[in-house]
Amino acid sequence: MSALGRAWLAPVPPDREGRQFRVTIWAMVAGIVVFAASVVAWGLATGNRQLTKDGIDWVYDVVIYAVAAIIYGRDDRAERIASAVIAVAIAVAGFHTLYDLWDKIENPRPIVIEALGFTAGTVIIIAYLCALAMYRFRDTQNALITATWLSSRNDAIKVTGFALLIFAVRVAPVRWPEYALDLLGAGLNFQAAWLILRQARSPAPREQQGDASRA
């Protein structure tokens, strides 16, 4: 079996941070899947493209959190690979935001106040619950946990700004504040992806200890 295969099958260490992290992540994944599926179903049933997209956008969070929960606790190489996968997913979300910005400029979307208000309110609640759950892990030295924390932080910042602007901006004759928010969100994604990749490439604590002992 390959080294990566053995990493995936390795037992999860019973440390306290590991147990807390895995339980927290799976709870977040379950809640997001239920919420996103209901929003997509509502959007398809009513023919609301924006509502459907709002639900589909959560797929990035589901992928990121599920990968983090599955791979955490394996060996350093597996965790670094998973961190790189998460960084790529976050970067793709940034490019998706830029594409959606271009699409909104080219094809302005109709405004449905009730649907947008519901989405904004519930998304804020979910985003802050996730960020609050991950806040305890903000100072960890684990690249995978850092990736998950930064993702939840970015979501909370972006959806808060979006919700504050949604009624004032989307019903207004000008759209530039909404476009500026999209640019900010894309920038946060690219910044988080870079930080995650940089930490994933740095020597792991166990490798540093091994190098010191050999010296």
Q: Which CATH number covers residue 108? A: 1.20.1510
pLDDT score, position 187: 92
d(CA 14, CA 197): 27
Question: What is the average pLDDT score of the chain?
Answer: 78
Q: Residue 215 domain-assigned?
A: no
Q: Residue 207 domain-assigned?
A: no
pLDDT band at 150 (very low <50, low <70, confident <90, very high): confident
pLDDT band at 117 (very low <50, low <70, confident <90, very high): confident
The whole-model pTM stands at 0.67
Sign of CA dihedral 140, 143, 144, 149: positive
Q: Residue 208 domain-assigned?
A: no
| 3-state helix, strand and coil shares in percent for the chain, rounded to the nearest 5 | 80, 0, 20
Number of structural domains, the chain? 1
Q: Which of 196, 2, 188 is nearest to 82 (CA)?
A: 196
**Is the per-residue pLDDT at 176 higher than 90?**
no
The stretch 147-158 carries a mean pLDDT of 83
Nearest 5°: CA angle at 188, between 37 and 93?
Answer: 40
Q: Residue 50 domain-assigned?
A: yes
pLDDT score, position 30: 92
The stretch 146-173 carries a mean pLDDT of 75
The stretch 178-183 carries a mean pLDDT of 83
Percentage of residues in the chain having pLDDT higher than 90: 13
**Is the per-residue pLDDT at 112 higher than 60?**
yes
pLDDT band at 7 (very low <50, low <70, confident <90, very high): very low
For residue 138, CA distances in Å to 6, 37, 46, 92 come to: 29, 29, 40, 23
Q: Residue 187 domain-assigned?
A: yes
Q: Residue 209 domain-assigned?
A: no
Q: Residue 213 domain-assigned?
A: no
pLDDT score, position 152: 85
**Is the per-residue pLDDT at 93 higher than 60?**
yes
Q: Residue 30 domain-assigned?
A: yes
Residue 150 lies in domain: 3-8+16-201
Contact 118, 43 (CB under 8 A): no
pLDDT score, position 5: 46
Q: Which of 141, 146, 143, 179 is nearest to 162 (CA)?
A: 179
Q: Which of 94, 54, 74 is nearest to 5 (CA)?
A: 74
The stretch 1-14 carries a mean pLDDT of 46
The stretch 62-86 carries a mean pLDDT of 81
Residue matched to tokens 């990736």: 147
Helix and strand tally (H, E) in the chain? 9, 0
pLDDT score, position 54: 81
